[in-house]
Structure 1
Amino acid sequence: MLSFLSRQYAKNYFVITGFLVCFSLGDSALSHAEPAEKNMPNVTYSNPYFKGNKEEKNAQIKRLTSLFGVECDFCHNEDLTVFTDEGKKSKEMMKASVALGVECDYCHVDRKRYKENEQQARKMFELCEIMGTECSFCHAGKGKLTPKGETSKTAFVTRNWATEGTKRCLECHIEKKLFALNFYGWQVLNALKGLKGM
């Protein structure tokens, strides 16, 4: 019985001693470790607005924040996992920039001032809202249009879109149906086809 208690005591002694040694070594290692630097969160830059390697993308971000005079937390939370309302708006604008093949400074002077292009951009955003589309529905880069965009361009010219505005589109189109034509729109299209000899 005495040898059993001795073995049990020895076993417990080694286990407890092992825990104490591991704990003291771990504590010592932690106390000598340098404080971790606060690095930028590991982000993937899934937004197609950002192009190039990580350094090039970071440079784009610096240009954006400089242009608008804001810090990262204007659009993001600290971990870059949640967008603020301004961030959500910026994300939509970036989609438009990609579709048009332009940078933010194409329309923006800074956060409060705009270039002349901005007036047309506002009309286009309103048109996208009315028709339930995105810029990429018609635009495929700087100076390039999709086939739907080419058709829209003809309608813009024939229907005086530049002066009459977006609401005029609803004379021919069904709202939020990806440019589906109403009866009057089909009549106009057929007349145009007749003029073109199609």
Structure 2
Amino acid sequence: MAVPRETVGLSAPSLLSQAANAMKVLTRFAVWGLDVGYDLDRERVLTPEELERYRAAGLRELAATSRATELSRLRALARVVTRRAPWPAPEDRGSRQQLSPPYTDAEIDEYWEAASAQSGPFRVQAMRAVLVLSVGVGARARELFAVTGRTSSMSTGSLRCASDRPGRRGSFRSAPSGSSDCSRSPTVRGGGR
């Protein structure tokens, strides 16, 4: 790591912001390394052991979240620019949450009854829309407010919702007024709890 700029160049960042962040963390690391007497050879200083020493001694003035971010950026960069450093294989990270099992037909019927029992037609319509979007399309609570007349359409008893997020498209058959049938079309993944 003769010069942080050269090391950042070797990492081939795709965005200017990535390059700037890498330059910032490498410069801070290089200053610490020189202060403790290291020669700045990438293969010797960008190792798990040295980064752990840096975390323990060189990042004390930063908040815990900033230390974690800086160390994460350094680790990612070090994996790319070193060849002999003993980096463990990257962890296979799955979803942070386990998926809940789909609602049963009985549970959907109970929710539909509760939605239909709301006081006033607007509340009934709103609760049925929430049920239809969450169970039928798989929309999450924060996504419910993004559905508007512009992003959805009704035709022949089917509601189609579009989203800007990949993997969040779908449709399902809405139930006729007064019915407890809330069946989904085959193109939709069912929602969970």
TM-score by length of 2: 0.22
From the two aligned structures, give the one with the greater helix fraction: 1
From the two aligned structures, give the one with the greater strand fraction: 2
TM-score by length of 1: 0.22
> Greater Rg, structure 1 or structure 2?
1
